[in-house]
């Protein structure tokens, strides 16, 4: 059985989309082939995003920032945007059946002390974890795809 491909998009593909990709892979790697990309990739994965997921046992250290056009010739079943800019820029992908938009604050834009910025990444990680684990559970129960 071929796994359905899920593509998670944000603008920079440096924080939110990578956190969501890692969390969804951990929650449902038996159901999906999960990827992330950006409409204007930053060219790196934010070190605080890597650290925030490492705290919950998910390794993003091998992830790279990719442009969403790299997936135009791939059979993408579901597109999930995690920021408004990517939602507006998102093309329709071959085979695309579902499209969801779940927006989250960009923790890369957080200001404050080092500990406050780290906490912003943790907060967004926890919000993403809640939403994407619920999505995976719904798919496993057969109520979504």
Of these residues, 83, 124, 131, 139, which one is catalytic?
A: 83
Q: Is 94 exposed, middle or buried (0-12, 13-18, 19+ CB in 10 A)?
A: exposed
Distances (CA, A) of 52 to 19, 45, 98, 115: 9, 12, 29, 12
- 15 part of the active site: no
- 10 part of the active site: yes
Distances (CA, A) of 43 to 6, 70, 104, 116, 128: 21, 14, 20, 24, 22
Of these residues, 10, 23, 45, 79, which one is catalytic?
A: 10
Of these residues, 37, 68, 90, 124, which one is catalytic?
A: 90
Kindly list the catalytic residues.
10, 83, 90
């Amino acid at each position: 059985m071929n796994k359905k491909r899920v593509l998670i998009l944000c603008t920079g593909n440096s924080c939110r989309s990578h956190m969501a990709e890692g969390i969804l892979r951990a929650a449902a790697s038996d159901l999906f082939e999960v990827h992330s990309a950006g409409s204007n990739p930053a060219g790196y994965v934010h070190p605080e995003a890597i650290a925030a997921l490492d705290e919950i046992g998910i390794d993003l250290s091998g992830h790279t920032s990719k442009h969403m056009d790299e997936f135009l010739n791939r059979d993408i079943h579901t597109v999930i945007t995690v920021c408004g800019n990517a939602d507006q820029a998102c093309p329709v992908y071959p085979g695309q059946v579902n499209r969801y938009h779940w927006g989250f604050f960009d923790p890369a834009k957080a200001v404050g002390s080092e500990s406050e910025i780290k906490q912003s990444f943790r907060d967004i990680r926890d919000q993403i974890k809640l939403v994407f684990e619920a999505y995976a559970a719904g798919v496993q129960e057969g109520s979504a795809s």
